[in-house]
């Protein structure tokens, strides 16, 4: 057995949005046995979804960056957001790898997930 076969890869999971590529304010770190390719599916558990959504909902300004793509419901206005309407944000549909980035001098690989196989 090759000694590198069992090494887990450190991966930052980001949510695709129209304003920031690989948003460093919204990500979770996980480990995977291999790096998925663009178009492949990465399933996240509820805890990871909740962490990502909490980061998106951390401020109205941050939530606006994920609007309107991740807004479900009619109460959230992207131009005039209100804190009480942050519950309309949901990213539970993300699963498809749309971008992969390797950070120089780092063992962390960044992956961006979207709800479709290609960027909208």
pLDDT in tens, 93-120: 899 999 999 988 999 999 999 998 764 4
Residue 95 domain flag: yes
Are residues 28 and 51 in contact, defined by beta-carbon separation less than 8 angstroms?
yes
Domain that holds residue 94: 9-114
Instruction: Determine the pLDDT at residue 5.
Output: 61
Residue 4 domain flag: no
Residue 1 domain flag: no
- Its sign, for the CA torsion 91, 97, 102, 108, is positive
- Residue 37: pLDDT band (50, 70, 90) is very high
Q: What is the mean pLDDT of the chain?
A: 87
- CA 113 centroid distance within chain: 5
Interatomic CA distance for residues 104 and 106, integer angstroms: 5
pLDDT winner (highest mean) among 25-34, 56-65, 66-75, 88-97: 25-34
């Amino acid at each position: 057995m090759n000694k590198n076969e069992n090494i887990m890869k450190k991966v930052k999971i980001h949510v695709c949005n129209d304003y920031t590529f690989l948003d460093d304010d919204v990500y979770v770190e996980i480990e995977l046995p291999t790096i998925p390719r663009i178009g492949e599916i990465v399933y996240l558990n509820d805890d990871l979804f909740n962490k990502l959504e909490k980061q998106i909902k951390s401020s109205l300004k941050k939530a606006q960056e994920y609007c309107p793509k991740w807004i479900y419901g009619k109460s959230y206005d992207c131009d005039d957001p209100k804190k009480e309407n942050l519950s309309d944000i949901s990213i539970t549909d993300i699963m498809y790898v749309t971008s992969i980035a390797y950070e120089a001098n780092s063992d962390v690989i960044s992956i961006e997930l979207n709800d479709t196989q290609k960027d909208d």
